[in-house]
Amino acid sequence: MKVYIDVTVLTLATFVTGIQRVTREVAVRLIQDVRFEIVLIHYNAKKNCYYQIDNKKFCEYYCKHLGIKEMMITRREVPLKEIGKGTCFFDLDASWMSRVKRSYLLPVLKNQGTRIIAHIYDIISINYPQFCLERGVYNFMDYIGAHIQYADAIIVNAQATKNDLKKLGERTNVVMPPCYVVPLGADFGTQRTISDAEVPDKLFKIASGFPYILMVGTIEPRKNHKLLLEAYDKGLREMGYNIIFAGYMGWKMEEFQNRLFHHRDYGKRIFHFSGLDDVSIIYLYQHARFLAFCSYMEGFGLPIIEAIAKGTPVIAADVEVLKEVAEGCCVWFEQDNVEMLCNLIRKYEDEELYCNLKAEMKKLRFVTWEESAEFYKNILSQFDNF
Amino acid sequence: MEVYNSIYDIVAGNMEEKGEHFGYQKSTFLCDVGMHPQSIDITRFLELDNHHFYEAIYVVAYRRLPEKKEIAFWEGKEMLPKEQFQKEVLKNIAGSSVVAINQIKLINNPYFNQKIGLKYHFMGILYGLTDKSCLREFGKKLPQPIQKLIRKVFL
């Protein structure tokens, strides 16, 4: 089965987190399965053409950090007419950021008889646009509008997103294509314990100092980083906890940024790291007292299951999708309730209670990327021989 | 188009509920839907009034809303007759580096034929520069004063 995947956004990105990580993990596993002929494509805006990516170099670069990214892109042009009947177009990446609008591309492919499978991570841009970058919302409106009309199947990662899509279909009078829920893998990066020598000195010193509460993910409004900062001022500081924010400084965060960088303890007990590699992130997970997840909403909440898989307890806001993904695995607090957040962390200062929590977590088992990829493969296989 | 229309209303409504305003006009979004990445079909925009016209063209060509200075500039010209205003906006867009570098074509343009490459006279001889995209990219890397000088002489 021949499957085309547009990975333009991944290949242009300077980091591999969130959706880029999902794209990498799934694409690599599809390539390695002989049942599929995977054609990764990259759009060159100047030439207005897709170029094929060398699968071997792609895997080497994203799995073993070998080679140069630009060298993955071959000179073989992939004209749209090539993606025709009998093939499948799997829109896995964050393609609403691509120059090729899906409202242009998908009707062309559909007319050629291509099967279109969309991966919708969430529709936060539609339901909560106030948290998003306006330009991103604008692009996403086009993307989602095209996919709900032209996709033959949609893959989501949570039932909550499926429900949101159903509601969107009702409001836009679109008969939605079949929608499949596929859980994401929790086992990112290496499964071994990261030694102190493998991370930068600064990170080692911070991680081995006061116990710390960690937040991982792009710093953007919907992730509610300000709540943890508030919790620090209202109790965590006194309890002797540090705070570490690991993630890129995103959009609409000027106020938070100002507050963070001018905090009296910034650089002493409150830290921000951007652009950390997988090894450093895993190291931070392994040494954190808690991963805090204060989001107002999420598509899946990948860091939660990643942290638990690494043995780090998670304290999370009781958001529908997070409860769906990690019910029974987290300590939950009411959204935006800073007192409750502090009280729960205080409660788990009791070492016996904390050890019991960690022991409970060890019994949990999440889907691995291998297993997650099998779900993707099964769905794609259904569209073979159409 | 109805689906996109509804999606726009949902987003704009959600923004309004939170006391915010969605910066993109509906007409811009609907004109942009289905647009080829390198071709802008001008006929889609001709019916728009001057205010909506320049915003829509900016978004489609530059992939961003006009900036404050640009808004002030075009608002100062909104009183012009529609055809004159549209021609000025399109001339401005057609001469921009973004359009040249990305090789964006303005198709079905009723006002003028888009120049591809540069032609200029120097000491009585006609010179032609065809690979405008490469030159523009190179030019963008030069220091600002040199860029200004080049613009003055060639563009």
For residues B104 and B39, is the Cβ–Cβ distance under 8 A? Answer: yes
Judged by DSSP in three states, A202 sits in: helix
Q: Does B134 touch chain A (CB under 8 A)?
A: no
Judged by DSSP in three states, A50 sits in: strand
Please tell me the distance from the alpha carbon of residue A31 to that of residue A371, in angstroms, as a whole number. Answer: 15
Asked if the Cβ–Cβ distance from B11 to A126 is below 8 Å, we say yes
Chain B hits for A132, Cβ within 8 Å: none
Residue range(s) of every CATH 3.40.50.2000 domain in chain A: 2-185+369-381, 196-363
Asked if the Cβ–Cβ distance from B33 to A148 is below 8 Å, we say no
CA dihedral A313, A317, A318, A321 (to 10 degrees): -90
Minimum distance, in Å, between the CA of residue B48 and any CA atom of chain A: 19
Query: Of the ranges A7-11, A60-64, A320-324, A325-329, which one carries the lowest mean pLDDT score?
Result: A325-329
In degrees and rounded to multiples of 5, residue B13 shows phi and psi of: -65, -45
CB-nearest to B15 from A100, A129, A172 is A129
A285: confidence class by pLDDT, cuts 50, 70, 90: very high
| Residue A78 CA: distances (Å) to CA of A28, A376, B112 | 20, 24, 33
**Directed axis angle between helix A19-31 and helix A369-381, to 10°?**
70
CA dihedral B28, B30, B33, B34 (to 10 degrees): -120
Nearest CA-CA partner of B22 in A140, A141, A297, A130: A130
β-pairing, A2-6 with A37-44? parallel
A17: confidence class by pLDDT, cuts 50, 70, 90: confident
Q: Does A41 touch chain B (CB under 8 A)?
A: no
Architecture category of domain A2-185+369-381 in CATH: 3-Layer(aba) Sandwich (3.40)
The per-residue pLDDT for A227 is: 97
A139: confidence class by pLDDT, cuts 50, 70, 90: very high
DSSP A114-157: -EEEEE----HHHH-GGGS-HHHHHHHHHHHHHHHHH-SEEEES
The per-residue pLDDT for A29 is: 96
The per-residue pLDDT for A1 is: 87
Q: Does A137 touch chain B (CB under 8 A)?
A: yes
Q: pLDDT, tens digit, for every residue of A197-234?
A: 888 888 999 988 899 999 999 999 999 999 999 999 99
Architecture category of domain A196-363 in CATH: 3-Layer(aba) Sandwich (3.40)
Please tell me the distance from the alpha carbon of residue A322 to that of residue A303, in angstroms, as a whole number. Answer: 11
Its sign, for the CA torsion A107, A112, A117, A121, is negative
B residues 42..101 contacting A (CB < 8 A): 59, 63-65, 101
Segment A271-281 mean pLDDT: 90
| Residue B154 CA: distances (Å) to CA of B41, B94, B120, B122 | 27, 15, 7, 10
Minimum distance, in Å, between the CA of residue B74 and any CA atom of chain A: 21
The per-residue pLDDT for A92 is: 96
- Count Cα atoms within 13 angstroms, Cβ side, for B106: 30
Q: pLDDT, tens digit, for every residue of A28-58?
A: 999 999 999 999 999 998 888 999 999 999 9
CA dihedral B24, B28, B30, B36 (to 10 degrees): -120
The three-point CA angle A117-A119-A122 to 5° equals 145
Query: Of the ranges A245-254, B85-94, B140-149, which one carries the lowest mean pLDDT score?
Result: B140-149
Mutation site, B2, B6, B8, B11, interface A, largest A CB count within 10 A:
B11
Please state, rounded to an integer, the average pLDDT across all residues of chain B: 87
What is the percent of chain B where pLDDT is above 90?
Answer: 63
Interface confidence (ipTM) of the complex? 0.88
Q: Residue by residue, what is the 3-state secondary structure of chain B? A: CHHHHHHHHHHHHHHHHCCCCCCCCHHHHHHHCCCCCCEEEHHHCCCCCHHHHHHHHHHHHHCCCCCHHHHHHHHCCCCCCHHHHHHHHHHHHHCCHHHHHCCCEEECCCCCCCCCCEEEEECCEEEEECCHHHHHHHHHCCCHHHHHHHHHHHC
Nearest CA-CA partner of A78 in A103, A54, A102: A54
Q: pLDDT, tens digit, for every residue of A89-113?
A: 999 999 999 999 999 999 999 999 9
- pLDDT over 90 at B154, yes or no: no
- pLDDT over 90 at A130, yes or no: yes
The per-residue pLDDT for B117 is: 60
In sequence order, which residues have a C-beta less than 8 Å from that of residue B98 and are 6 or more positions away?
B61, B62, B104
Query: Of the ranges A43-57, A180-194, A265-279, A364-378, which one carries the lowest mean pLDDT score?
Result: A180-194
Judged by DSSP in three states, A332 sits in: strand
The per-residue pLDDT for B116 is: 67
- For B104, the token pair is 């964006």
Minimum distance, in Å, between the CA of residue A174 and any CA atom of chain B: 8
The per-residue pLDDT for B132 is: 59
Q: Which residue has the tokens 């050629």?
A: A112
Please tell me the distance from the alpha carbon of residue B153 to that of residue B143, in angstroms, as a whole number. Answer: 16
A69: confidence class by pLDDT, cuts 50, 70, 90: confident
CB-nearest to B10 from A107, A126, A173 is A126
Judged by DSSP in three states, A315 sits in: strand
Tell me, yes or no, if the pTM score tops 0.90.
Answer: no
Q: Does A14 touch chain B (CB under 8 A)?
A: no
**Directed axis angle between helix B68-75 and helix B50-62, to 10°?**
140
Q: Does B8 touch chain A (CB under 8 A)?
A: yes
- pLDDT over 80 at B139, yes or no: no
Asked if the Cβ–Cβ distance from B11 to A129 is below 8 Å, we say yes
Q: Does B3 touch chain A (CB under 8 A)?
A: yes
The per-residue pLDDT for A252 is: 87
| Residue A82 CA: distances (Å) to CA of A79, A119, A243 | 6, 22, 52
Segment A243-248 mean pLDDT: 94
How far apart, in Å, do the first and last CA atoms of chain A sit? 10
The per-residue pLDDT for A22 is: 93
Count of all residues that appear for chain B in the document: 155
In sequence order, which residues have a C-beta less than 8 Å from that of residue A114 and are 6 or more positions away?
A83, A84, A85, A87, A88, A89
Chain B hits for A128, Cβ within 8 Å: 14
What is the percent of chain A where pLDDT is above 90?
Answer: 75
Nearest CA-CA partner of A292 in A341, A328, A325: A341
Asked if the Cβ–Cβ distance from B36 to A149 is below 8 Å, we say no
Q: Could you tell me which residue, A278 or A50, shows the higher pLDDT?
A: A50
Judged by DSSP in three states, A237 sits in: helix
Query: Of the ranges A18-22, A75-79, B29-33, B51-55, which one carries the lowest mean pLDDT score?
Result: A18-22
Query: Of the ranges A9-23, B12-26, B46-60, B115-129, which one carries the lowest mean pLDDT score?
Result: B115-129
The per-residue pLDDT for A311 is: 87
Segment B110-119 mean pLDDT: 76
Query: Of the ranges A183-187, B38-42, B98-102, B133-137, which one carries the lowest mean pLDDT score?
Result: B133-137
For residues A343 and A337, is the Cβ–Cβ distance under 8 A? Answer: no
Please state, rounded to an integer, the average pLDDT across all residues of chain A: 92
For residues A154 and A120, is the Cβ–Cβ distance under 8 A? Answer: yes
Query: Of the ranges A164-173, A184-193, B104-113, which one carries the lowest mean pLDDT score?
Result: A184-193
Q: pLDDT, tens digit, for every residue of A323-373?
A: 888 877 899 999 999 999 999 999 999 999 999 998 888 877 888 999 999
CB-nearest to B29 from A99, A129, A138 is A138
The per-residue pLDDT for A376 is: 95
For residues A375 and A29, is the Cβ–Cβ distance under 8 A? Answer: no
The per-residue pLDDT for A63 is: 87
